[in-house]
């Protein structure tokens, strides 16, 4: 084995951890692979001369590359999102074609500021392993907050090293992580807190029935006069949609069963809702009105300006 092969084998030992770091920082399998590849290119050019701790050195390289990508992404936030034909989240698909779930996956995979779209199935598996809601919340943080939180809270990187990466003091890095932690955890609203567990059971049951296409279970969860509103940005026609009655809403949820695998419960404005995302980027949010264990209203939010106004956090495990 020559030196190049030896160096490559050494790098492969660290690849899983580096990819885990990059994926949590970027929320995208494609972008994570790009960051890891850049780390390998730098290692292959420079070798290990002068490197006392290869794992720490590689983590620093991946983190710096990811931070630059996050900053570039933040600078493009104001660019209009054009993911192609849009489709609703779970429960909003009444009247949509049966292939709409695949269209949604392909549309969101094509967007994410990368040169090559990742495999949607891989994105789904990665999101499941990390937590889709967590990725959505992380995407609301500033690049510095996200890096400080991910490196310290998920990978136990000392604040001294994080401060060097961010060109800030360890104390400033600690404050960034603390601020991010508060955003990630959130807090139930005063009104929702007493019945949060009950609402969560109803929303989780709705999601489970949507994923399996269980029409009867959905009907049992919905009030006979349930009303669903969906923003025009997430339906094929591009116009706001209103569905009235549990049969119509349940049929829509059945049609959206494929897309439901990309949804997860989260705390939305202090109460339980569903977030739908791919590639770590928020696509739409479902909020629910629950009365006596029946869903009486569903709001499917997909307009970018409305999504930006929502406060999303994790539910307690």
Q: What class has domain 80-317?
A: alpha beta
Q: What is the pLDDT of residue 38?
A: 96
Q: What is the pLDDT of residue 126?
A: 74
CB 179 within 8 A of CB 171: no
Task: Tell me if domain 1-78 and domain 80-317 are identical in fold.
Answer: no
Q: What pLDDT was estimated at residue 6?
A: 87
What are the CB-based long-range contacts (under 8 Å, 24+) for 36-42? 36/62, 38/62, 38/65, 39/11, 39/65, 40/11
The CA angle 118-119-123, to the nearest 5 degrees, is 85
The whole-number pLDDT of residue 298 equals 97
What pTM was estimated for this model as a whole?
0.78
Give Cα 139 to chain centroid, integer Å: 7
Closest CA to 112 of 143, 73, 157, 147: 73
Domain 1-78, architecture per CATH: Orthogonal Bundle (1.10)
Residue ranges per domain, the chain? 1-78, 80-317
Q: Are 83 and 110 in contact (CB under 8 A)?
A: yes
The kind and range of the H/E element at 217 are: helix 215-221
Burial class (CB in 10 A: 0-12, 13-18, 19+), 80: exposed
Residue 115: per-residue pLDDT: 36
Q: How high is the mean pLDDT in each 10-residue block of the chain (317 residues)?
A: 73 96 93 95 90 94 96 72 47 41 35 46 73 90 96 96 96 96 81 79 97 96 97 86 96 89 92 88 93 95 93 87
Give the per-residue pLDDT at 256: 86
How far from 124 is each of 29, 33, 116, 171, 278, CA to CA, in Å? 10, 16, 17, 36, 7
DSSP secondary structure string for all residues of 131-175: -HHHHHHHTTS-HHHHHHHIIIIIH---HHHHHHHHTS-HHHHHH
DSSP H/E element including 276: strand 271-278
């Amino acid at each position: 084995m020559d030196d190049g092969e030896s160096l490559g084998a050494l790098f492969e030992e660290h690849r899983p951890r580096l990819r885990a770091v990059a994926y949590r920082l970027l929320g995208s399998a494609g972008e994570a692979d790009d960051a890891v590849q850049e780390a390998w290119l730098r290692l292959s050019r420079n070798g290990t001369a002068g490197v006392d701790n290869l794992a720490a050195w590689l983590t620093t390289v991946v983190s710096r590359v990811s931070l630059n990508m996050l900053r570039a992404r933040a600078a493009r936030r104001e660019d209009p999102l054009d993911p192609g034909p849009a489709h609703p989240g779970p429960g909003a698909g009444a009247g949509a074609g049966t292939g709409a779930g695949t269209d949604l996956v392909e549309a969101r995979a094509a967007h994410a500021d990368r040169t090559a779209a990742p495999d949607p199935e891989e994105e789904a598996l990665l999101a499941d392993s990390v937590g889709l809601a967590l990725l959505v919340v992380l995407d609301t943080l500033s690049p510095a907050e996200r890096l400080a939180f991910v490196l310290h809270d998920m990978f136990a990187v000392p604040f001294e090293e994080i401060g060097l990466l961010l060109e800030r003091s360890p104390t400033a890095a600690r404050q960034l992580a603390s601020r991010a932690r508060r955003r990630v955890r959130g807090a139930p609203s005063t009104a929702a807190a007493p019945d949060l567990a009950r609402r969560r059971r109803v929303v989780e049951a709705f999601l489970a029935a949507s994923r399996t296409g269980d029409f009867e279970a959905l009907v049992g969860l919905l009030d006979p006069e349930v009303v669903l509103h969906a923003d025009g940005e997430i339906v094929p026609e591009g116009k706001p949609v209103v569905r009235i009655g549990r049969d119509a809403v349940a049929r829509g949820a059945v049609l959206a069963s494929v897309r439901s695998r990309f949804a997860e419960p989260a705390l939305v404005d202090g109460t339980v809702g569903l977030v739908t995302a791919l590639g770590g980027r928020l696509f739409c949010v479902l909020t629910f009105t629950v009365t006596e264990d029946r869903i009486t209203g569903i709001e499917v939010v997909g307009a970018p300006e409305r999504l930006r106004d929502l406060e999303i956090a994790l539910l307690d495990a």
